[in-house]
A and B are shown apart, each in its own frame.
Chain A
Amino acid sequence: MREVLLLVRLFSRSKARRSAKKKRFSLPGPVWVILAYFMLPLAFFLGFFTPVLFPLLKSLNFPLVERGILSPFLALDLLMAPMIFFSGVMLLIQFSQSLIIGLFDNEMIPVLCSMPFHRSSIVFTASLDSLVQTGMFITFLGGFSILYAVAIQAGFFASLGAVVSLFLFLLGLGMLIATWTSRFVGRTSAKRFTQVLYFFGALGIFGAPQVLIPLSRQNPDIVASKLQKWIPLFLHRFWPHTFFLKAIRGDVSALLVLSSTGIALFLLAMWRANGIELSLSRKKTASNRTRVQWGKKFPLLKKEILLMFRDGQMIWYVIYPVIFPLIMFRAAKESLLVITLFFTMVASLYSSLITTSLFAQERKVWPVPLLFPISSSRLIGAIIRTSVGLFWLEYLVMGIVLFFLFQPFWAELFLFVPVFFLLRYGALIGIRMYLQDAGRDISRKGILLKGKEILFLEVLTMGFSGLFLGILLVYRQVFAPGSTAWFSSWPPWLVHSLFPGAAVGVFVTVILLSSWEKRRIQKLLENLDNT
């Protein structure tokens, strides 16, 4: 136990970054780390899930038999089972992959292995550390369990026992999966997989209220009859979450089975951990005989695309600007202009974040990129072209589809021109901001820019996109049938000159600022080559 406590202290301290400035009051580093992983999901759960889910669960708190469905379960079990199942599976996968990273991509591990620590203590501490990183899924799994227990008015100790047993079960199983998959999953694949999973999990969680809200508006009997087809799939008697739901309801045998399986898996994982090879050496997977068709053309572009699609965070950046307008499809009132506004505001910001992320990858291998017969400006140009080109292509495809779908005013088809310049401005400003402190610490994944810089980026990219497209939106509003806007009474010549003029003004400002950013980037690159 002493050994574990010592390791926990060491792991948590290594996570906190030392600050040069002394603060009068500051929370200890590990507390910040835990808060960072749990605060946002908790706020989202309390703000969005609880108000929708809890009344829905309460309304479904009746035995299915009462409605003529032959099943020993409650109607709300039909809703809870898939939610517990999916959040549990997500937790399990993310936890095991994080553990692989924690064990095989941690420079501290070989040092710890040379000290008189039991392997199981190292693996257990690393698993606690990895568990913190799955904060989003823990919050949701825990939150669902609490809401369920409160909705059915379950006993406190039965609920606590069930929750502890389920977490022990997942912890043990996750550790076993990690030790087994570490044989053939490298840390690079694990990192990518974890990131992708996190973002898809987040997407699922953000999208879930869209499903729950319509359900909450329906008659509980209809909801129960709709969901009854899930009984054989999600409420099969051998599923761990079925035991878990039964255990919360006070079924002692289910609690005993779940807890004893959990303890057995945990002990098995600990026993396996003592024999695990904690070496940082690679996981040998393949020979090198497969030829990758790279070709001679556009090597830079191809490299940037590969790097982009091998980083989970960047994949998220690429897909979200398309997903966001689709989520807001109804709010967009089937208007290409409004969808363009949503898309460009997000994509221009993400365009800057992608360029900074791609440039950070170059900085990680610096000065190797300088050894190639490519100038720094060409290198940066390839990064900007990749990011802007990809978003622009996304917009073109989406715009063309929506153009035929909505059949808007023909001039809206030409929105692709300002969209391109807004995306390009975002990319340029991101690179410039990064270059202003080119020696920044990029060791922590996903944290490249300071909070102040991100805020500045948001204001500029989203601001200009919002301003330009917002002006056009207001301009169009004047001609909307039955418009009651206060400027509807203005003389037409004033409306026709003021709004398009303002939009052109914003557009020209963006172009001028882009050239200015380009010049600044060139200067910063010259300084960078000189250090």
Chain B
Amino acid sequence: MIQANGLTKKFGDFVAVDELELLVEAGEIYAFLGPNGAGKTTTIRMLTGTLRPTAGKIHVLDLALPKNEIQVKQRIGVVPDEPRMYENLRGREFLDFVAGVYRMEEALYTSRVEELFDAFSIDYANDYIGDYSHGMKQKLMLVSVLMRRPEVVFLDEPTVGLDARAARILKLLLEKMKSAGTTIFLTTHILEIAEKMSDRIGIIHNGKMLAQGTMEQLRQLSQGQHGSLEEIFLELTDSGEIPEWARENTEETDHA
């Protein structure tokens, strides 16, 4: 469903993504993890046809990118890391625009949008986007993607800015979409989400894929049989020692 071979992106001398190998099967939730600046967003941008790779091959929905960029974009949905939208449009107008671009049927569009508005408690769609908070924009962006029910969904840090209820609704919706056969590719810094929701996890660091597989496979790789994803992640990415003072503080609190 999503396949990348030898995927590389260079910005001048800087190698942002280095010969990445990736395979995400249909109907799978794939969590793509990595520290800040690891190359997650760059990879998503290449997989969604918004950035040309320096080298390597990409296939999404069995269509080669960037050759079939428009056809692929028609069938996928992307929630970017920052929900940027036209500030001078109202929320509803933005959704109307998206529906128009994807040629959604009027009745289907109306019913799905109402459903999602109720789910995410959106009651501000007639206000200007410029007046929204980050979380409100994020919810609207999610609605604009989920209303189309795309075959593959890319979500770059989807829970940032969402309140607890909206984050829970999103997780439930993703589970539902997965059971309906949608492929989901998500990045997150909340490792608990990745651990609980994903079928497989990929960990990228300095542009290189360090490990990928199921939670069990990752545990075996890190040689810690009972380690949590957080421990595996820190070990694999070699994020450095946790300072002693931070540990002391935690231990004191735990003790108290």
Contacts and interface: CB of A to CB of B under 8 A. Distances in A.
Interface of A: 186-189, 191-192, 280-288, 290-292, 294-300, 302-303, 306-307, 310-311, 361, 364-368, 370-375, 529-531
B73 A282 contact: no
Given A287-B123, A307-B86, A361-B86, A529 B91 contact: no
Contact of A367 (B80, B87, B92): B80
Contacts of B50: 367, 370-371, 529
B70 A283 contact: no
A364 B93 contact: no
Contact of A282 (B89, B117, B131): B131
Given A192-B88, A307-B88, A371-B80, A285 B100 contact: no
A453 B198 CA distance: 51
B45 interface: yes
Contacts of B131: 186-188, 282-283
30 contacts: A186-B130, A188-B87, A188-B88, A281-B133, A282-B132, A282-B133, A283-B131, A285-B127, A288-B123, A290-B92, A292-B90, A295-B100, A296-B103, A296-B104, A299-B96, A299-B101, A306-B93, A307-B88, A361-B86, A361-B88, A364-B84, A364-B86, A365-B84, A365-B85, A368-B80, A372-B101, A372-B102, A373-B102, A375-B69, A531-B11
B136 interface: yes
B52 interface: yes
Contacts of B96: 292, 294, 299
B183 interface: no
B126 A373 contact: no
Contacts of A366: 84
B51 A530 contact: yes
A291 B84 contact: no
B100 A373 contact: no
Contact of A306 (B51, B74, B89, B122): B89
A310 B126 CA distance: 15
A311 B88 contact: yes
Interface string B72-116: 011000101000111111111100111111111010001000000
Given A188-B131, A284-B127, A361-B88, A529 B51 contact: yes
A215 B123 CA distance: 55
A396 B102 CA distance: 33
Nearest to A294: B96
Interface string B136-147: 100000000000
A288 B96 CA distance: 12
Contacts of A297: 100
B126 A285 contact: yes
Nearest to B54: A530
Given A287-B125, A530-B52, 16 more contacts: A285-B127, A286-B127, A288-B124, A288-B125, A297-B100, A298-B100, A299-B100, A300-B101, A306-B93, A311-B88, A365-B85, A367-B51, A371-B50, A372-B101, A373-B70, A373-B101
A300 B89 CA distance: 13
How large, as a class, is the contact surface on chain B?
Answer: 35 or more
> Which of A298, A303, A364, A530 has most B Cβ within 10 Å?
A303
A444 to B, nearest CB: 15
Nearest to A314: B88
A356 to B, nearest CB: 16
A360 B73 CA distance: 23
A296 B107 CA distance: 12
B91 to A, nearest CB: 7
Nearest to A530: B52
A288 B126 CA distance: 5
Contact of B126 (A192, A286, A303): A286
Nearest to B103: A296
A282 B74 CA distance: 33
> Which of A280, A286, A373 has most B Cβ within 10 Å?
A373
A282 B126 contact: no
B126 A367 contact: no
Contact of B70 (A187, A188, A367, A375): A375
A296 B99 CA distance: 7
Contacts of A287: 123, 125-126
Contacts of B49: 370
Nearest to A311: B88
A294 B99 contact: yes
Contacts of B52: 529-530
A531 B50 CA distance: 9
A290 B133 contact: no
A282 B86 CA distance: 16
Contacts of A531: 11
B91 A282 contact: no
Contact of A294 (B70, B71, B78, B97): B97
Nearest to B45: A367
Contact of A373 (B74, B86, B89): B74
A371 B69 CA distance: 10
B98 to A, nearest CB: 8
Interface string B215-244: 000000000000000000000000000000
Contact of A291 (B71, B110, B127): B110
A310 B96 CA distance: 17
Contacts of B84: 364-366, 368
Nearest to B132: A282
B252 to A, nearest CB: 28
A373 B97 contact: no
A290 B126 contact: yes
Contacts of A191: 130
Nearest to A362: B86
Contact of A303 (B89, B91, B136): B89
B76 to A, nearest CB: 9
Contact of B93 (A281, A294, A296, A367): A294
Given A281-B133, A367-B45, A371-B73, A307 B89 contact: yes
A377 to B, nearest CB: 12
Nearest to B126: A286
A282 B124 contact: yes
B136 A282 contact: yes
B159 interface: no
Contacts of A189: 128
B48 interface: yes
Contacts of B80: 367-368, 371
A288 B70 CA distance: 31
Contact of A280 (B85, B123, B124, B133): B133
A375 B66 CA distance: 11
> Which of A191, A297, A364, A370 has most B Cβ within 10 Å?
A370
